[in-house]
Amino acid sequence: MDSATPGRPKRTAFLLSQLGAVASSRFAERTRAIGLTPSDAGVIRLLGRSPGLSQRSLADRLGAVPSRVVSLIDSLQERGLVERMRSSTDRRNYELHLTEAGKRVLRELRGIAEQHEMELLAPLTDEQITQLGELLAQLANGQGLDRDLHRDVARDVPRDAGRPA
């Protein structure tokens, strides 16, 4: 316990930071195993939940610069996972949709995410997991975060980093 703040554990923010780094690193390893970055996975997940987003809307949701999102979408489109379709309401804009291959990858990502969460939370009981989820949601809300969206798209390492030439 911290003598300056009786009854409160020390270094909670540090532990959250450590766990976040471990969780991010392990998730990146899992997505890399199927040829994706965490940013790719985030875009696929978001388009699965919100088909038809424009690139601008996607950039706004992710808190990323539009040029970064264009690069991500170009890469996903080249791999046949995302397609751009002219907007039926504004012919100047394109809507983003998952292809059938993209939908299959989304299902695979859901399994990866479930496995990732199970392994990360394995030391806890179901009751503790529920309580932790509620507490983390409260902290996320206090920081103005979207509980369902990781806004760290711009920080991914390049897709080919760490791969042999």
Amino acid at the residue 159: R
Domains, the chain, ordered by start: 12-152 (1.10.10.10)
User: Left (φ > 0), alpha (ψ -120 to 50) or beta: where does 162 sit?
Assistant: left
Q: According to the model, what pLDDT value does residue 152 have? A: 62
Q: According to the model, what pLDDT value does residue 146 have? A: 76
Quick: pLDDT tens for 80-110.
999 999 988 888 888 999 999 999 999 999 9
Q: According to the model, what pLDDT value does residue 3 have? A: 52
Quick: pLDDT tens for 112-165.
999 999 999 999 999 999 999 999 999 999 988 876 676 665 455 344 443 333
CA 112 to centroid of chain Cα atoms = 12
